[in-house]
Amino acid sequence: MNTNFDPFPVISTERLILRALTLTDSGELFKLRSDEQVNRYLDRPPTTTIEQAEAFIHKIAQVVQNRDGIYWVISRKDEPSLIGTICYWNFNVDKASADIGYELMPKYQRQGLMTEALQAVIDYGFDNMRLKMIIALTHPDNAVSAKLLKRTGFVLDERYGFVSEDNAEGQVVYIFSNSN
């Protein structure tokens, strides 16, 4: 499994640029992480200040530097500001697996942008990081996320779905492996 993110891997798709998170993103990151609709199914308190957003940016920089995760800003090619994020985290070197997470500003949802970003990051995970398995946890009531995962090749992991399993407690587990 390859977790060398130096230089940071910028990914380009038809409509998007996936790039590193920087302090200039703090305002848009604050809007994203404080949005009630975005946070609806996430198990985290909403961001309430720009300072919290800046602290999160510093934390993510350390995570990437330590090779404990990779976190991309999603931006449109014609609009460089942050519209969402997508990341790999919870690496398991022995199993060559990682968890994936994503969020998108409501204004940009239902346009196929997250499908485009997710497919690019899946390809990066298998081709560059040499992952064998990508794990996605989603809230049982988040039908939109489940549909996105299925559309991009994830399958429900019957062994863990709805079962309390480490960090999957209360979540539905989807798996994408090289054998899917």
What's the CATH number where 63 sits? 3.40.630.30
Segment 13-46, tens digit of pLDDT: 999 999 999 999 999 999 999 999 999 999 899 9
Name the residue range of residue 87's domain: 11-131
Is the residue at 172 inside a domain?
no
Pair of tokens at residue 65:
């530097």
Could you tell me if 84 and 32 are in contact, meaning their C-beta atoms sit under 8 angstroms apart?
A: yes
Is the residue at 104 inside a domain?
yes
pTM as predicted: 0.93
Is the residue at 153 inside a domain?
no
* Residue 166 clears pLDDT 70, i.e. is over it: no
Is the residue at 143 inside a domain?
no
Residue 157 pLDDT level (bands cut at 50, 70, 90) = confident
Q: What is the predicted pLDDT for the residue at 73?
A: 98
Q: What is the predicted pLDDT for the residue at 171?
A: 85
Q: What is the predicted pLDDT for the residue at 179?
A: 66
Segment 97-127, tens digit of pLDDT: 999 999 999 999 999 999 999 999 999 999 9
Average pLDDT in the chain: 93
64 contacts: CB under 8 Å, gap ≥ 6: 5, 8, 20, 70, 71
What total of structural domains would you count in the chain?
Answer: 1
55 contacts: CB under 8 Å, gap ≥ 6: none
